[in-house]
Structure 1
Amino acid sequence: MRQGLTWFNIASLLLGFLFLYLPIALLIIYSFNESRLVTVWAGFSTKWYAEMLQNQGLLNAGWVTLKVAFTSSCFATVLGTMAGLIMSRFGSFHGRTLFSGMIYAPLVMPEVITGLSLLLMFVAVALDRGFVTVTLAHITFSMCYVAVVVQSRLAGFDRSIEEAAMDLGCPPGRTFFQITLPIIAPAVVAGWLLSFTLSLDDLVIASFTTGPGATTLPMKIYSQVRLGVTPEINAVCTILVGLVATGVLTASLITRRQEMRREAEERQAIANS
């Protein structure tokens, strides 16, 4: 057995994974259960997925969730990219500490506090709660994750490429869109996928900021679960878990490929020097 890898470490790791993922695995398995009783296995069946497609309430909530996630992710990606660019390029400007604190605060702040503060703000400005308020709330917390991802990519960015382009007469704006943005594109895409996944998964903040006609899928699931778990809920949750897992894995692969490409560029630069 390799050094540092003991049976205790292996057992602890297995128990940790079982604690985290066994409930999800059981949910996915019982979504294919023939019986209406979610705890009694009666054979394999996909009929509950067909029943789910006939449930107009779940379909409407799913459509609202996708619209909110797509819209908020696009705006969060733009704002987060700008914030990451400011934090990595503008050095120690006046108010940087406050700006950085405002960017990082939603990452560590409890969702209940974030949701309540947004609710009070929307009430203060007399903004009717609905699709717009949920989207604004999701932009607020998801743009922070995009800013962190983009800032980490810009931290290892070789600015001599931009300087060479501007020395040849390329304006700063055109340099950003033709030189900088294509290079940091994997980080921007990873940030978009991460914010999209976070929006799909949000329940607490959406509960505070939602209104008539803006019920998201997690809220719909939670309201139905309070009356009893049905196989349809298992099917919906399985699809939601699949979407979230796909988004997280895709963002991780893009980030990993970006790191490998940066390491290759660094080794090539050292070899050339």
Structure 2
Amino acid sequence: MDVSEISPEDLPQYRDDFSRDDFNGYLSDIISMHRIVDDYRPDICKDLRYPKVLPEIGVVIPFKDEHLSVLLRTVYSILYNTPAHIVKEIVLVDDGSENSELKSTLDIYLENMEKVRVIRLRKSVGLMMARQAGINSIDAEYFVCLDCHMEVLPGWIEPLLSRLLEEPKALLCSNVGSIDRLTFKLHHAELPQIRYFFPFLIFNLDASTGKYKQSFVESRTNDTEPFPFGIIQGMMVVMRKSWFMQLGGVRFLDEDMG
């Protein structure tokens, strides 16, 4: 959407939204909150089959003064693109928002979402502690922490849960793309180096890489197979709740990151 397409009377709202959020909130409010997007997964991913019986998940989504339509689109994408028998609950954690729309208006939407509820913290405690509050509240054996401005595609959760059944002590994150802040188009993340380099953090928190062993590279038959990582993208954390808590909860992930 070009600014020239916006009517003069709507320009102040567009500019206010962009100044506050640094993305096109005006366009977000026009786009359907439960839009259907192209499934850009490679055919090899679409052809994979997973166990019919998979455990339930609790999805934790912390937010603070997020644009309402963006937050709701995150929730709707999970409800529409996840098998209903897998989603046990979705917990929104309001980390001290001041935007009134995220209270009264959000509550109206949630009245029609039986699996979705909100926890409101009296004061902001930061991302990591807000996540912990949500994790503490879920009954599901497995949890997924997501940022409040994401959209999932069909088939997003099955490979993650299948992997956790194989490796109960794993911490997982899938291949995460991006949403254009101007057009809200979804982009697939290209990972040309992922087959060869292992990322990790060194003592001063700079990112660095080391080569995977050639034997490991050659052992992988295709790019859908999991690979070990020294760091993960923070917008998604998938794990078994009991093991996460045994490790110390957010202290395991570093509570000061919040």
Bin of the TM-score, shorter chain as denominator length: under 0.3
The structure with the greater share of residues assigned to helix is 1
User: TM-score w.r.t. structure 1 length?
Assistant: 0.21
User: TM-score w.r.t. structure 2 length?
Assistant: 0.21
**Structure index of larger Rg:** 1
